[in-house]
Amino acid sequence: MQVPKDAILLRIFIGEQDKYQHRPLYEAIVFKARELHMAGATVLRGPLGFGRSSRIHTAKILRLSEDLPMVIEIVDSPERIDRFLPVLDGMIGSGLVTLEKVQVLQYGTDRHPPLA
């Protein structure tokens, strides 16, 4: 899989408890991206955040939240991201989706050969 130098970063902000067909939404998005042969996806779990409701979600012990912020990042060509957006739209009920132009410096090539 080759990612063009000029690519798009798709960033999806959701809650840890969000579901899609009885499965965690973040997991469903990553598996769908893999099924559609996207270049890759990463899920990040946030220790603190708030969204449209302004309700604080935190991992602090005294205020343990069961709905921490989750961010899914996918970098791929503009065309592949454009094809994925309608699929994503059918999966997300509430969340924030952003796009930004990025420059890919390296993808899938080791800079250093293995040590012998």
Give the residue extent of every domain in the chain.
6-103
pLDDT at residue 67 tops 60:
yes
**C-alpha pair distances (Å), 13 with each of 2, 7, 10:** 26, 20, 10
CB 45 within 8 A of CB 72: no
Q: What is the pLDDT of residue 70?
A: 94
Kindly indicate the confidence band of residue 75, based on its pLDDT and cuts at 50, 70 and 90: very high
Structure tokens at 85: 């957006």
Q: What is the pLDDT of residue 48?
A: 78
Q: What is the pLDDT of residue 2?
A: 74
**Domain boundaries 6-103, corresponding CATH code:** 3.30.70.120
Q: Bridge-partner residues for 113, per DSSP? A: none
Which secondary structure element, helix H or strand E, spans residue 14, and what is its range? strand 6-15
Structure tokens at 63: 């205020």
Round the CA-based radius of gyration of the chain to a whole number and report it: 16
Kindly indicate the confidence band of residue 77, based on its pLDDT and cuts at 50, 70 and 90: very high
Q: What is the pLDDT of residue 7?
A: 95
Kindly indicate the confidence band of residue 64, based on its pLDDT and cuts at 50, 70 and 90: low
